[in-house]
Structure formats: C-alpha cells, structure tokens
Structure 1
Amino acid sequence: MTDRQTEYTAPAPKADGTLEVTFTYLEMRKPSDPVPYQGPTIDNLTVLRAVEPTISFYRYLYNHVGGPCLWYERRALSDGQLKTILIDPGVHVYVLYANGVPAGYAELDTRGKNDMEVAYFGLLPEFIGRKLGPWFLNWTLQRAWSRNPTRLWVNTCTLDHPAALTVYRHAGFTPFREETATIRDPRQEPFWQSSPHT
C-alpha cells in the first residue's frame, strides 16, 4: 500500500522463474496516538462493510488492488474456496468509496478472537497519490480497535510498494519478525492469466 503518485511494478523474476521475497510482520498491542497526516484530496469518502461480497466483486478488488504487488493467494483459490472465507462471520471486508467509486479495500480477520489481523489493505492504482492511504488506514485501525483485540498485526513484503513498510510503522506498528523465502513468480502460474478481472 502506498499513497505516492508513482507507478509501481513488481520486480522481474530470476532466470529460474523465482523471486526472493522478504516478509516483515508487524504488530500493535494498543492503539497508537493519532499521527498527523495530510488530508485526502477527495472530499466525498465513504467506507462500507461488504457483507458476504459476491465472488466477482471481491476478485475485482483483490486483483486490481493487489495485482501490481503480485498478491496471488486468493487468485489461486477456486470460487468455492474463496466463498467459504468470505461468508465466515469472522472475516470483515470494508470498501472505500471515493465519489461513489470503489477506491480500495481493507480486510480484517477476527477469527483469532483477541488476535486480529489486517489481512489485506490497499488502494486501486487510480487512487494512489490522492492522500487516501493514511486516511483509510487510520479508519481501518479505529474500526479494528473498536472490537477490543489484545493484538493487531499485519505483514508486508518486498513485493509491496516500497512505501508500505514505512506507512505501517508510521501508523504505530512495530516489526516483530522478518523472514526471507524464494517463491515461484505467480505471473507464471495458470491462475494468474485465467483469473477474472485481471
């Protein structure tokens, strides 16, 4: 996730078709103090919870928000597998609308009871650079803490926009684990090309 008016493209794979990725896991144990940020350049903002969103709408959000950063886990799922996740009462999907148009989404996974994960968070590429990121992240964190978890956590990786880690740390998250793995470039997988709404 980022809020900078720059296009981002994931790195090319190595000759063997793999990518070396470093994952950083961050957490918050209590709400952080409000962080000053420049307000959005769009006035008409609304966030609505998508209760049991349709598969096609969710794939549209996931693929367009996560495509530049090679989000692939949900692309690899069948519609049935994805539906099982989305109808779970512990999975909360929130959609950011700017002037009535979907601009991004956040997904809170509350299935860990007191241990809550910001499973997904980001903006559609067309809305990056309009100062929506900090505003929407602040909204998401307020919503998460309203459920009184004992811990809130998130992860980012080196395939995400370079600003992502800084944004999360600025919001009050603290790294607690880092690991590096070699993965097959998801762009070479059949599901990447066959996934709707690419």
Structure 2
Amino acid sequence: MDEINAPLPSGYSPVPPGMLANVVTCLEMRARPPVKADPPTGSLRLERWSDADLDAYRDLFRRIGEEWMWMSRLVMPDDELKAILENPQIEIFVMLDSEKRVGLLELDFRKDGECELVFFGLVAEAIGNGAGRLMMNAAIANAWSKPISRFWVHTCHFDHPGAIPFYRRSGFEPYAFFVEVSEDPRLTGQMRRDAAAHVPLIEAL
C-alpha cells in the first residue's frame, strides 16, 4: 500500500451516504518465522493458477470475499485485471478440495526486496478444516524463497474477525492503520445488496 502523508484530523470525519469507510490494518514480517506443521491435507491441495481467466478468477474472488466486502477485483476494468493475472511477478495459487476451487492466494513480487500477500481467503465451507494453515505455510515458503527482506499484508475491519489474529499467529505484526473511503458496491450493482450483512448499507440521498 502506498504511504499516505496526510493524516485524518482527530475526532469524527463524516462519510457521505452511499460511501463506505473502512479501517485498514497493515502487517509485516521482516524475517522468515519458524515453520509451523502442515495439518492433515485430506483432499486439499494448493496449485499454481497460471491460466486463470477473468470469469473464473472473479467467480472465486466473489465466492470467497463477497461476505467480507472484497470489492477491488470486482470493480477493476478487465484490461487491468488481465494484466495482473498475466504478470510473471504476481504468483496466483488456488486451493482445491478434490477438483473444487475453495481458496485463493496471491503474492506480488513487483517491488524489489518485498512480497505483498495481496489476497488470502477461503470459501465459507473450507474455513476451520486446516486449509488456512496449509495455504499460509505455502505463502510464507514461497515468499521467503525469493530474495526479500519484507513480507506484508493489509486487512480491514470488514474482513473475517479471525483474520488479524491468524496473521499474527503466522508471524506478521501490525505497523500502521489507514482509512479507505469508497463507493458501496452494493449500491452500484457490483455486489449483492444483501452481501456483508455486518456492514450497514446507507443509501445515497
């Protein structure tokens, strides 16, 4: 995430109707953490997703993230998303349960010496069966197999409540907060109106 040097003033800042204000937490690790054991894998396996097309990618992105207000790749123009999916410095992995896609892992190595954990998530039915630990172990191993000195991620308060504790157990430590203001995609037709029920929907005037 680009550094922003104009902090919000202390106190309340109004957000216009139809917009969302999202508190983002940035976390990082500066050295590879101790290896955690993989859980029993059963029918789970992680594979490099080198031939993802736009529709298949967005379908998995939506199934994982719609309840947590993942919106960026749903509103991104096709040409921009296609460039990301085809960039050799961005590694995309899919978690499979037998042949069903249940998880997404995306690592971005475009900045020298760094890796960003851009997306990390599972469909609801895959949470709690060890898939997250299996995928995070692979993320850490792949990131630190490159010549990096920093591995980082950002998450937000709309996300799963277990996200930050899980990242911290995995070796990431918080270092900054940001506030992101954006249009509510449930009002623009880019997301179901009943998605992410924990986030109030406030109509634009």
Task: Pick the TM interval, shorter chain.
Answer: 0.7 to 0.9
Q: Deviations for 1:115-153, whole angstroms, at most 9, x for unmatched residues?
A: 110000000112122221122111111111111311100
Higher relative contact order (CA 8 A, sep 6+): 1
In 2: Cα distance, 1:86 partner to 1:181 partner: 24
1:111 aligns with 2:110: yes
**Gaps spanning 5+ residues in structure 2: where?**
1-14, 193-205
> Counterpart of 2:26?
25
Query: Does the aligned pair in 1 maintain the 2:66–2:191 contact within 8 Å?
Result: no
With the length of structure 2 as denominator, give the TM-score of the two structures: 0.80
**Does structure 1 conserve the Cα–Cα contact (< 8 Å) formed by 2:114 and 2:150?**
yes
Aligned-partner Cα distance in 2 for 1:78–1:52: 19
1:121 aligns to what SS in structure 2? strand
Aligned to 1:93: 92
Partner of residue 55, structure 1: 54
Aligned residue runs from structure 1 range 118-133, under 5 A:
118-133=117-132
Residues in 2 aligned to 1:191 and 1:81: alpha-carbon distance in whole angstroms: 17
- Secondary structure of 2:115's counterpart equals strand
Query: Counterparts of 1:148 and 1:190 in 2: how far apart (Å)?
Result: 42
Moved more, 183-192 or 112-121: 183-192
Find the aligned partners of 1:121 and 1:51 in 2 and give their Cα distance: 17
Which residue does the alignment assign to 1:8? Answer: none
Q: Counterparts in 2 of 1:1-198, with a 5 A limit?
A: 16-35=17-36, 39-40=39-40, 43-192=42-191
Offset of 1:25 from its aligned partner?
A: 0.3
What is the TM-score when the length of structure 1 is the normalising length? Answer: 0.82
Counterpart CA distance in 2 for 1:24 and 1:59 is 24
Deviates further, 180-189 or 75-84: 180-189
One-letter identity of the residue aligned with 2:17: D
- Name stretches of at least 5 consecutive residues in structure 1 with no aligned partner: 1-13, 194-198
Q: Distance in 2 between matches of 1:30 and 1:139?
A: 16
The whole-number CA distance in structure 1 between the counterparts of 2:159 and 2:106 is 16
Give, in angstroms, the shift of residue 186 of structure 1. 2.0
Equivalent position SS for 2:148: coil
**AA of the residue aligned to 2:32:** P
SS at match of 2:27: strand
Aligned length: 178
Q: Following the alignment from structure 2 to structure 1, what is the Cα–Cα distance between the partners of residues 131 and 171?
A: 18
The alignment yields a C-alpha RMSD, in angstroms, of 1.9
Give the conservation status (yes or no) of the 8 Å contact 1:35–1:170.
Answer: no
